[in-house]
Amino acid sequence: MKDFDELHPIIRYPLYAVLILYTLTIHQIILILARIFFKIYWRIVRIYLKKIMKDALNAFLEDDFDKAISLCLKCIIKIPPVMKEYFREHYNDAVLYLGSLYLFKGNFIEVEKYLKEAALVIDENEFNRIILSIYEGDYYAKKMEFKKAEKSYLQAYNRLSDFKESVYYRNLCFSLSGLYCFMSQFSLAKEYLDEGSRGSPDSVDKIRGEVDLLYHQCKFQEAEEKAQPLIEYINSGKVDIHLSSELLILLADLAYRNKRYSESISTINRAIQICQNINGEMHPLYGECLAVKGLALRKLKRFSEAKISFEKDLQLKLYFFGRISLNYLIAVQNMAQLYDSLEEIKECEKYYEELMDIYIDLFKSTIRKCRMMKDSL
């Protein structure tokens, strides 16, 4: 460098200029190569993530929920936190999809976890935000938190007003109809049922909605007559296996309400077999089967068998919904009534005391929520 500085300025300054230009060129080349590398990497990863999500969807359609969950988790793991924004579409889809898959599995702890994550990462103006509201409504409806379910469903409904021909809109109308049946708001239930069944008056969802409407008004004989086409749908395989199990539970419940207890048990055994095959015994739907079966067995005075069904249902309700829930409360009530039938006073009193404690805790929880809402005004 010293020799270089000793050069005549006429030579030295042009050489400085050449060296500066050379250095800038090297930097530019490095930047160009970096951009090219990043674009190639970005495209490869996008293709890879897209394939993972496609495989997850195929696994779901094949009823392999565990594989679908594993693939969605793989998609999330493959996205480094610093790259999350670049691959936000795939990350958001994976998170939302996991929430829905765990909903199918009945794992409500994981459902809540991923739906909360989805609420943080999905923008308000995205269509996935509507899907998120629907899944939240489904989640709260299964937990019998009807007001929360109504709020989530209506948020989705209001934003789907421009998509009235979509399957999302029709299914949401049926969900709202079923929710309002539980809430004994039958005029609203009928309104949403009619809206959802526009153009498809003979669909399974339409018939099921009409049956639910009659059932919740305690018109069990009429409900069972209306439900007859559902038997044909199930036997002919025109509905998927998951819906078949739900419809069989409904039919078994109707047979029980209409005092045909042996038929109720026969029908619910079909539902139990389906539930065991597709979900195993650790699933809320399996608990619903056991509850209906236990009720019919109790009426037939097969108390030891009813006890087995009710005890297993009680364990499942506690595991999936927790002690302070309407789901668990109903299971405890079934146990109390069973021991009442057996005239085992001590056990009967134990479960009725538990029932009263749950009612009190539920009431306290409701008061706390009301106070929080009031304080937020």
In 3D space, the residue among 80, 93, 158 whose CA is nearest the CA of residue 122 turns out to be 93
Tell me, yes or no, whether 91 and 170 share the same domain: no
Tell me, yes or no, whether 153 and 48 share the same domain: yes
- DSSP for 257-317 reads HTT-HHHHHHHHHHHHHHHHHHT-SSSHHHHHHHHHHHHHHHHTT-HHHHHHHHHHHHHHH
Q: How far apart, in whole angstroms, are the C-alpha atoms of residue 195 and residue 263?
A: 34
DSSP state of 224: H
Tell me, yes or no, whether 66 and 143 share the same domain: yes
Is the pLDDT assigned to residue 126 strictly greater than 70? Answer: yes
Q: Is 317 helix (H, G, I), strand (E, B) or coil?
A: helix
Is the pLDDT assigned to residue 369 strictly greater than 60? Answer: no
Tell me, yes or no, whether 205 and 180 share the same domain: yes
Tell me, yes or no, whether 171 and 87 share the same domain: no
Tell me, yes or no, whether 46 and 121 share the same domain: yes
- With respect to residue 188, please indicate whether it lies within any of the assigned structural domains: yes
pLDDT (0 to 100) of residue 316? 95
Tell me, yes or no, whether 47 and 152 share the same domain: yes
Q: How many domains does the chain have?
A: 2
Length of the chain: 377
- With respect to residue 235, please indicate whether it lies within any of the assigned structural domains: no
Over residues 34-78, the pLDDT tens digits come to 777 777 777 887 788 888 888 988 888 777 888 999 999 988 888
In 3D space, the residue among 128, 105, 104, 102 whose CA is nearest the CA of residue 113 turns out to be 102
CATH number at residue 105: 1.25.40.10
- With respect to residue 274, please indicate whether it lies within any of the assigned structural domains: no
Tell me, yes or no, whether 84 and 184 share the same domain: no
Among candidate residues 184, 200, 217, the one where a domain is terminated: 217
Among candidate residues 124, 157, 190, the one where a domain is terminated: 157
- With respect to residue 142, please indicate whether it lies within any of the assigned structural domains: yes
Is the pLDDT assigned to residue 158 strictly greater than 70? Answer: yes
Tell me, yes or no, whether 79 and 125 share the same domain: yes
- With respect to residue 196, please indicate whether it lies within any of the assigned structural domains: yes
- With respect to residue 372, please indicate whether it lies within any of the assigned structural domains: no
Q: How far apart, in whole angstroms, are the C-alpha atoms of residue 202 and residue 209?
A: 11
**Domain span including residue 210:** 164-217
Tell me, yes or no, whether 152 and 177 share the same domain: no
Is the pLDDT assigned to residue 82 strictly greater than 70? Answer: no
- With respect to residue 176, please indicate whether it lies within any of the assigned structural domains: yes
CB neighbours of residue 175 within 10 Å: 23
Q: First and final CA of the chain: distance in angstroms?
A: 75
Tell me, yes or no, whether 184 and 97 share the same domain: no
Among candidate residues 140, 157, 174, the one where a domain is terminated: 157
Is the pLDDT assigned to residue 223 strictly greater than 70? Answer: yes
Tell me, yes or no, whether 129 and 108 share the same domain: yes
- With respect to residue 114, please indicate whether it lies within any of the assigned structural domains: yes
pTM of the model as a whole = 0.81
The residue written with tokens 């793989």 in the block is 74
* 20-24, 145-149, 155-159, 286-290: least confidently modelled range: 20-24
Over residues 188-214, the pLDDT tens digits come to 999 999 999 887 767 889 999 999 999
Q: How far apart, in whole angstroms, are the C-alpha atoms of residue 129 and residue 248?
A: 33
